[in-house]
Chain A
């Protein structure tokens, strides 16, 4: 659960939908003579229709997050164009929710640019030595007058080659324990001190990047939250990521629809054992979807539960089991691959391309956005109240930690 969800007390649903209806109608009037999509998107933002659960003035109307789908539908029905969030995944899913909570007024102007796709964001969190243990980041930011100078190496950065700005977690104090020496920045990607290299993956393509920072500059005015507060700010971002990854879908939406359709189309490789397995996957997908509906209904009723943290684990397990099945059910066709060429996709689809791609890509589902093991720890410790893991690094200054 993000801070936003738990802090939000939704009003009467009818009043909320009326507020959305009124905003859509006003936006439709204001956008009547506009032909440029980006200008229309700006109008939507100005009317609180970018992320309706955000506060007024930050692209929202302060209503329940569960009404996003409702707003999306109404805006579409009014004939207004809407930006594709996949063109700014990190901006929409991670940067915007974090800026909405921690941003200064000046930083909040980025929200509009994120929504209108005028500024594309990427994420500089993980490092070769800081994966699940994100608080171990070693990239240093050193104060230089009104600026900070950043040096280090980041990894798993999707879209870095196209990004204008990155959300960055860097170490600003090595004399305190690791969680306390981090600071969160919004850094310009297009500058001499930032070098982006594709990182080739098991699919053959370079969906992600390595980013090398060498004395890169970020003004102090681009610091999000206080110095040393980076861990707390980053957790807002990561919780948003988990919520956005585990979101709902229609029945047979997602991978199960692709595989079920393929099964229905071809009788070539059918047998009763595979059929039983496929329906088992269908059951798992449908049960996961049903839990998502309950979760959304709880959110809408102002009673968020902790169940959301389990959604991403199920999603990854189901996607991996199903993509594995997908290969096995098709005979040779399941083994064909379009191309191993090293490409730089600007976006990707978990359900795209072919079974081999989906099988390989799904391996990342239990890693990206928090490994399954870390999420299980979080559930065990924060939800079930079981003791935390034995830690040797919590009270040791970062510079004295064995690395």
Chain B
């Protein structure tokens, strides 16, 4: 096993600078905080910039399908910048999670030689501004099965097996806690047939009942999604569907680790700047060893998290290119995720404490990072879920 190259590339650097410059202009802290007070406001200028001006919708989609083919590593760079704000963007839910499910489903199509519905959908996501959300509980580490196929429109009876990609089905059920469903054009729906097989089907979000509820991080809103017999197009079935979903969740965890690393870096930078300014007892509070040592420890963790998150996204790209085994890539992702989930909130909490009373105020933007950090910690399973999955990979 050769070591993955972890050094920052020039392309990463350019991407980072472009996204950072855009967010500095479009997502100042006061605009981000506005999403908490105005449930109908999603700072649309942010995603107009990310998706339309910087054209980052197709980052993880192959060039042949209208995307950039830049891979998960580039998505990690973007996510890290979005995490620093934290920006109210559909990038993770649509351009990473949903796009990766469709990408993985398309890989199954490719094996059968067909240019089927997944390929067509990939092109839409990459090129025409369409966004999608995964209709799954955002905290679930795997599919939990509350959505069902009620009717297979091509079959004589309801929900008969087997289903083929391209078929139209009807979906019923309710799922709680779907990220960014309220502003997605499409829902990517994992659903169980009566026969017990998993299918992934794509529906128009406007056909679903979507109720957005107030939750910890309004920059990534959560909704209840109710499907009352809405029509959807199947893009993957059975093992192919299972694999597409599992891999896309793993891909998301890798990019999420980059986002978490961005949160930690931003919190750390804010904390360091604050303790150099704030004076008590006639000295800056950053001159007290009680503060210095905690900042130094946070700096060590921030560096390690960055290295692990980079290893995660690059290992997945290497696995897709066939140069690293799927198992090694999964180990890198679970490791980075378990580490990020164990430390991100904790470090933001440290920085909040450094801010004293100011840390508790709406005015100081640390709370925005804290809320995102806590959401990220439980997305797709907490640290213990990642450790459990990792243990299976490394025979522990």
Interface residues of A (CB under 8 A from B): 251, 260, 263-264, 275-276, 278-280, 282-284, 286-288, 290-291, 293-294, 297-298, 301, 303, 307, 310, 313-314, 373, 375-377, 379-381, 383-387, 389
Contacts and interface: CB of A to CB of B under 8 A. Distances in A.
Contacts of A297: 3, 5-7
A381 B201 CA distance: 56
B299 A283 contact: no
Identify which of A291, A381, A383 gathers the most chain B CB atoms within 10 Å of its CB. A291
Contacts of A377: 289, 292-293, 296
Contacts of B332: 290
Interface of B: 1, 3-7, 272, 275-276, 283-284, 286-287, 289, 291-293, 295-297, 299-300, 303-305, 307-308, 310-311, 331-332, 335-336, 338-339, 342, 383-384, 387-388, 390-391, 394-396
A288 B305 CA distance: 9
Contact of B304 (A290, A379, A386): A290
Contacts of B387: 276, 279-280, 283
B295 A380 contact: yes
A104 B353 CA distance: 53
Given A282-B396, A379-B300, A385-B276, 12 more contacts: A283-B387, A290-B335, A291-B304, A293-B4, A293-B6, A297-B7, A303-B7, A310-B296, A313-B300, A375-B296, A377-B292, A386-B292
A380 B396 contact: no
B287 A384 contact: no
Nearest to A389: B289
Contact of B396 (A260, A383, A386): A260
A374 B61 CA distance: 48
Identify which of A293, A375, A383 gathers the most chain B CB atoms within 10 Å of its CB. A293
A286 B335 contact: yes
Identify which of B292, B300, B303, B390 gathers the most chain A CB atoms within 10 Å of its CB. B300
A384 B308 contact: no
A373 B294 CA distance: 11
Contacts of B308: 286-287, 290-291
A278 B395 CA distance: 12
Contacts of A381: 292
Contact of B307 (A280, A291, A383): A291
A263 B396 contact: yes
B396 A291 contact: no
A284 B284 CA distance: 33
Given A275-B396, A286-B335, A287-B304, A386 B287 contact: yes
Nearest to B308: A287
A287 B339 contact: yes
A298 B311 CA distance: 14
- Grouping DSSP codes into helix (H, G, I), strand (E, B) and loop, the A interface class, with mixed when no group exceeds half, is helix
A373 B293 contact: yes
Nearest to B343: A287
Contacts of B287: 386-387
A314 B396 contact: no
Contact of B299 (A264, A284, A286, A310): A310
A264 B391 CA distance: 11
A260 to B, nearest CB: 6
A350 to B, nearest CB: 20
A341 B52 CA distance: 73
A298 B383 CA distance: 29
Given A279-B390, A293-B3, A294-B310, A387 B335 contact: no
A290 B6 contact: yes
A310 B300 CA distance: 6
A293 B292 CA distance: 27
A279 B393 CA distance: 11
Nearest to A313: B300
A279 B391 contact: yes
Contacts of A276: 384, 387-388
Contacts of A314: 300, 304
Contacts of B5: 297
Given A260-B396, A291-B307, A384 B296 contact: yes
A251 B295 CA distance: 28
A280 B296 contact: no
Contact of B7 (A251, A283, A298, A385): A298
B290 to A, nearest CB: 11
Contacts of A376: 292-293, 296-297
A288 B284 CA distance: 32
B286 A387 contact: yes
A17 B293 CA distance: 41
A282 B390 contact: yes
A307 B341 CA distance: 22
Contacts of A303: 7
30 contacts: A260-B396, A263-B396, A278-B396, A279-B387, A279-B391, A280-B342, A282-B390, A283-B335, A283-B338, A286-B308, A287-B304, A287-B305, A287-B335, A290-B6, A294-B7, A294-B310, A310-B296, A310-B304, A314-B304, A373-B293, A375-B296, A376-B293, A376-B296, A376-B297, A377-B289, A377-B293, A379-B300, A386-B272, A386-B287, A387-B287
A300 B94 CA distance: 38
Contacts of B335: 282-283, 286-287, 290
B338 A383 contact: no
Contacts of B307: 287, 290-291, 293-294
Pairs A-B, 9 closest by C-beta atoms: A380-B292, A310-B300, A387-B287, A379-B296, A376-B296, A279-B387, A294-B6, A291-B307, A294-B307
A178 B314 CA distance: 50
B9 to A, nearest CB: 11
A294 B320 CA distance: 22
Nearest to B294: A376
Nearest to B389: A279
Identify which of B307, B388, B390 gathers the most chain A CB atoms within 10 Å of its CB. B307
A280 B388 CA distance: 10
Contacts of B300: 310, 313-314, 379
Nearest to A293: B3
